């Protein structure tokens, strides 16, 4: 008699096929694009098997694993500035988003309508404003890219909101983000100390990519690595906030908590290594906000006085991270050929006192970028110069490689005009109102901690938007919408239980 595979067993097989497809595309596509077909065949096999699933818990288990692979993809996309991997990462993201949509369609079973999607109206208005900016764009392809990245972010958000209720998905997300954050930090440290990673990857790169990466290695603020400081810095900041939740409020054993504490030290030290001031400050502001929302709300700080000892633990972790950076990493930085670029700014205090000559825009001060953004806005006040077109204006004005305005409000005004700026404010206002209502709602203790953690991450994104443009990046935009989906899922779960 043939043994029948249980729904959970099928879910395990599907997850294994997805993981195999992910690794095949990740490892083989940059070497030879034709080999990508093998990974796509594995994804197709997983999708075919997924059609046979009818058990709700098994389908949600598959969806959770897909989210984990999406986070892993975003971590790689944020951690390595390798051009061949950017196309591969985008391909993986599109395939996984499609699989997530399949899971959402099966989970909802026609019970969910578009009208129920949160932020649908403000998001449609914002996307229309982006499309409208193409009227004034010299490079329409960049407008299409910006439109697409926002659409992908909202699409993944919608799939998660449709598919899930309860606290399991937000809990798993914290684990996924923190784990991949630690992996990204270790990859940065490996590149700092050893050429091994570069020696493995370099033979498979085209000549153009090699020259670009060798130049990037010379000018990157993450000294001696192939990593983008702003993207890596913000991802590590998000991972640090998730790590604080796991350390103090997740249901973990003592050994696992010790591992999380060690991971927080590594992540925090690597965050200093990125030399990104807004991410470092934003991480600590996010953690402070997390404590305010969790401990001060309803006087939990007084009721649970022993929890205040966690502040001491955080202080010890921060001290260890700073000592590791200052007395271990800094010594290695000064051994690098490009150490002349960092000089005294490699020290902890120098990281915050450095001039803008150590910033990504190098030869252009931020005040000049802000002024240029204002000029472009006044010259094209209605629809702007086109989404993602500001960097071309920088190149034309300063004859240096273009960069962003490093301020989301100013760049949106310059690129999308008053129409886009109004749409952006409407969208963010809707999000803030909904998140605030959820925070101050009648949540149980576990849900409130998860909402507080997700809200702290969202505030980190908004804070960083005043100094960089995280929501102009596909990898970070998707991460923003994923954490926002956690807030909505927990709110919907609370309503269902009421």
Q: pLDDT tens digit string along 107-150? A: 775 566 677 789 999 999 999 999 999 998 888 888 998 999 99
Question: Looking at the predicted structure, is the pLDDT value of residue 345 above 80?
Answer: no
Round the average pLDDT of the chain to a whole number and report it.
82
pLDDT number for residue 416: 93
pLDDT at 257 over 60: yes
Q: What is the pLDDT of residues 32-75, one digit of tens each?
A: 777 888 999 999 999 999 888 888 888 888 999 999 999 999 88
Please give the Cα distance from 343 to 359 (Å, whole number): 14
Q: Which residue has the higher pLDDT, 287 or 215?
A: 287
Q: What average pLDDT score do residues 298-313 get?
A: 59
Residue 76 has pLDDT above 50, yes or no: yes
Check residue 342 and give its pLDDT: 59
Selection from 86-100, 239-253, 391-405, 466-480 with the highest mean pLDDT: 239-253
Mean pLDDT of 174-178: 96
Given pLDDT bands bounded at 50, 70 and 90, which one contains residue 228? confident
| All structural domains of the chain with their residue ranges | 1-111, 114-163+364-498, 178-361
What's residue 328's pLDDT? Answer: 84
Given this model, what pLDDT does residue 127 score?
A: 95
């Amino acid at each position: 008699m043939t043994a029948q595979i249980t729904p959970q067993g099928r879910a395990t097989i599907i997850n294994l096929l997805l993981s195999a497809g992910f690794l095949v595309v990740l490892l083989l596509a940059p070497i030879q694009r034709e080999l990508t077909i093998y990974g796509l065949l594995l994804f197709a096999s997983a999708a075919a098997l997924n059609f046979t699933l009818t058990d709700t818990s098994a389908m949600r288990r598959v969806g959770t694993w897909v989210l984990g692979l999406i986070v892993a993809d975003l971590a790689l996309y944020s951690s390595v500035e390798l051009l061949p991997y950017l196309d591969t990462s985008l391909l993986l993201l599109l395939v996984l988003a499609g699989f997530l949509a399949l899971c959402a369609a099966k989970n909802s079973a026609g019970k969910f309508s578009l009208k129920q999607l949160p932020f649908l109206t403000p998001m449609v208005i914002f996307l229309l404003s982006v499309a409208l900016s193409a009227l004034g764009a010299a490079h329409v392809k960049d407008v299409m890219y910006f439109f697409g990245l926002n659409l992908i972010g909202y699409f993944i958000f919608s799939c998660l909101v449709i598919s899930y209720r309860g606290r399991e998905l937000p809990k798993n997300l914290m684990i996924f983000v923190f784990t991949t954050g630690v992996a990204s930090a270790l990859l940065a440290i490996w590149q700092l100390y050893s050429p091994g990673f570069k020696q493995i990857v370099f033979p498979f790169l085209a000549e153009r990519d090699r020259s670009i990466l060798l130049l990037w290695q010379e000018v990157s603020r993450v000294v001696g690595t192939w990593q983008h400081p702003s993207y890596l810095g913000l991802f590590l900041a998000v991972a640090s906030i998730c790590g604080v939740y796991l350390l103090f409020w997740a249901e973990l054993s003592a050994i696992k908590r010790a591992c999380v504490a060690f991971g927080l030290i590594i992540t925090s030290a690597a965050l200093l290594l990125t030399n990104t001031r807004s991410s470092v400050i934003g991480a600590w502001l996010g953690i402070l906000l997390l404590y305010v929302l969790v401990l001060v709300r309803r006087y939990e700080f007084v009721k649970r006085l022993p929890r205040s000892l966690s502040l001491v633990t955080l202080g010890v972790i921060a001290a260890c991270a700073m000592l590791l950076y200052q007395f271990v990493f800094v010594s290695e930085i000064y051994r690098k050929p490009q150490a002349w670029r960092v000089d005294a700014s490699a020290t902890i205090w120098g990281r915050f006192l450095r001039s803008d000559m150590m910033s990504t825009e190098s030869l252009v001060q931020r005040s000049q970028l802000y002024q240029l953004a204002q000029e472009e806005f006044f010259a094209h006040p209605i629809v702007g110069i086109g989404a993602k077109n500001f960097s071309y204006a920088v190149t034309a004005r300063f004859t240096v490689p273009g960069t962003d305005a490093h301020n989301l409000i100013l760049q949106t005004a310059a690129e999308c005009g008053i129409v886009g700026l109004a749409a952006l404010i409407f969208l963010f206002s809707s999000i803030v109102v909904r998140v605030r209502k959820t925070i101050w709602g009648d949540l149980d203790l576990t849900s409130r901690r998860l909402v507080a953690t997700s809200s702290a991450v969202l505030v980190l994104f908004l804070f960083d938007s005043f100094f960089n443009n995280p929501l102009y990046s596909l990898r970070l935009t998707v991460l923003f919408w994923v954490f926002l989906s956690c807030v909505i899922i927990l709110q919907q779960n609370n309503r269902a239980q009421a």
